[in-house]
Amino acid sequence: MQTLTLLRPDDMHLHLRDGDTLRHVLPHTARQMGRAVIMPNLKPPVISVADALAYRERILAALPAGSRFQPLMTLYLTDHATPALVREAKAAGIVAFKLYPAGATTNSDSGVTDLFKLLPVLEEIAAQDMRFLVHGEVTDPAIDIFDREAAFIERILLPVLDKVPCLKTVFEHITTAEAARLVCQSGDNIAASVTPQHLLLNRNDLLVGGVHPHHYCLPVLKRESHRQALLEAVSGAQAHKFFLGTDSAPHPQHAKENACGCAGMFSAATAIELYAEAFEQIGALDKLEAFASKNGARFYGLPENTDTITLVKQAQTVPNSFPIGNGGNLVPMRAGGSVAWTMQS
C-alpha cells in the first residue's frame, strides 16, 4: 500500500465560526493541522484586539483534550482602522489584517470601501512585519463575477503594492491564471493561498446539470484553463510562493440549499487528502509537503511543525453531512463520494 509521510501541515485560511458550530467543526482541523490562520468575519466581526483574544480563548476551549493545535489570529480591516491599532495588534501576537472589500463575500458588510484611504495603516502593517491578507475581488456590479479577481489586480492590488512595496501580502484563495501569474512575477513579499476546490473543480462542477449549491463559493469556480494554471503554479518553478489555505467554511445545509444560498465549501474533514488527490493528478506528490507544511510557515515567519502525519492510498467515503449543533447539519466537499487517500489516525 502506498504511504506518504509529511510534516504536519498548517491551514493558512480557515473559517471556524463560533458557538456550537465552532465546537463541532474545530476537531476536524485540529486532527490534521498544526496551526491555522483564523478568519475574522464573524457576526459581529473581529475588529479589535480584545475581540481577537477573546475569540482565541473560545477556540482553545473548544479543542479536543490533548490537542496541540494553535490558532493564529487576525483582525478584520475596516475603514476605521488606525496605525495605532496595528501596533496594538502586533504587541498582542496577532499575525495579520484581513481585507474584505465591502460586500464581496460572507459577512463582509463591514469591509473596506476605499483601500487607498488606508495607506497609512498598510504602511504600519509593513513596518510591524505583519501580514496583509486580501480577498481579491472588486464589487463593482458592472464587472462580471468571473472577472472580478482579475479586475481587482489591475484596479486595486497593483496600485496599492506600488505605494507600499514592502507589504507582505497573501492573495487569498486565488482562482485565476492572472492571480497565479502576478504572484509568480512579484517579489517574495507576495504569496498566495490555494483551496482544494480550486485545484480540483471548475465552473462546470457548479453549473452543469443544474446549479450545485454546495459547490458555490467566493471567489466562484472558474474555467478549466484557470484550474490548470493553479496546478502549474503550486508545482512549478515559483511553487515556494503558494501554500495550503482551505477556506473551509461551515454553513448549515438549509443556508446553502435555498433560493439565495450562501457561499462557501466545507473541506476541513478531508482537507489534506483532497490536496493529495490534486497533487497526484499532476504527478507532483513530492511537492505536497512543501505546499502544505513549509511554504506557509516560512512566509509567516514561523517554525515548521516537528511532528508528522501519514497518508495511505486507501479510499474513504465522505459522510453525506456532519452535525453542527442545534439539530443542524453541514454538507462537506465530496459528500457521499470517496477520496482516494486517508490520513492515518
Q: Give the Cα separation of 99 and 240 in Å (integer).
A: 23
Residue bearing cell 466562484: 220
Q: Does residue 66 come out as left (phi exceeding 0), alpha (psi in the -120 to 50 range) or beta?
A: left
Of 291, 276, 277, 197, nearest to 241 (Cα)? 291
203 marked as binding residue: no
Does residue 147 have a known ligand-binding role?
no
63 annotated as ligand-binding = no
Q: Where are the beta strands (DSSP E) in the chain?
A: 3-7, 11-14, 35-38, 70-72, 74-76, 96-99, 131-134, 169-171, 190-194, 242-244, 308-312, 316-317, 322-325, 328-330, 338-339, 342-343
Query: H or E element: which one contains 331?
Result: none
Ligand-binding site membership of 15 (annotated): yes
Residue with the three cell numbers 493553479: 230
Q: Is 335 helix (H, G, I), strand (E, B) or coil?
A: coil
Rounded to 5, what percent of the chain is helix, strand, coil?
A: 40, 20, 40
Active-site choice (109, 129, 247, 286): 247
206 annotated among ligand-binding-site residues: no
Q: Is 135 annotated to bind ligand?
A: yes
The span from the CA of 194 to the CA of 62, in Å, is 27
Catalytic status, residue 20 = no
Q: Is 263 annotated as a binding residue?
A: yes
Q: What contacts 306, CB < 8 A, 6 or more positions away?
A: 7
Say if residue 180 carries a ligand binding annotation: no
Instruction: Specify whether the backbone of 95 is left (phi greater than 0), alpha (psi in -120 to 50) or beta.
Output: alpha
C-alpha cell at 193: 493561498
Residue 173 known to bind ligand: yes
226 carries a ligand binding annotation: no
Q: Is 11 annotated as a binding residue?
A: no
13 has binding-site annotation:
yes
Q: What residues are annotated to the active site?
A: 247
- Where is the binding site, in residues? 13, 15-17, 41, 98, 135, 173, 218, 247, 251, 263
- Where is the binding site for Zn(2+), in residues? 13, 15, 98, 135, 173, 247
- Where is the binding site for substrate, in residues? 15-17, 41, 135, 218, 251, 263
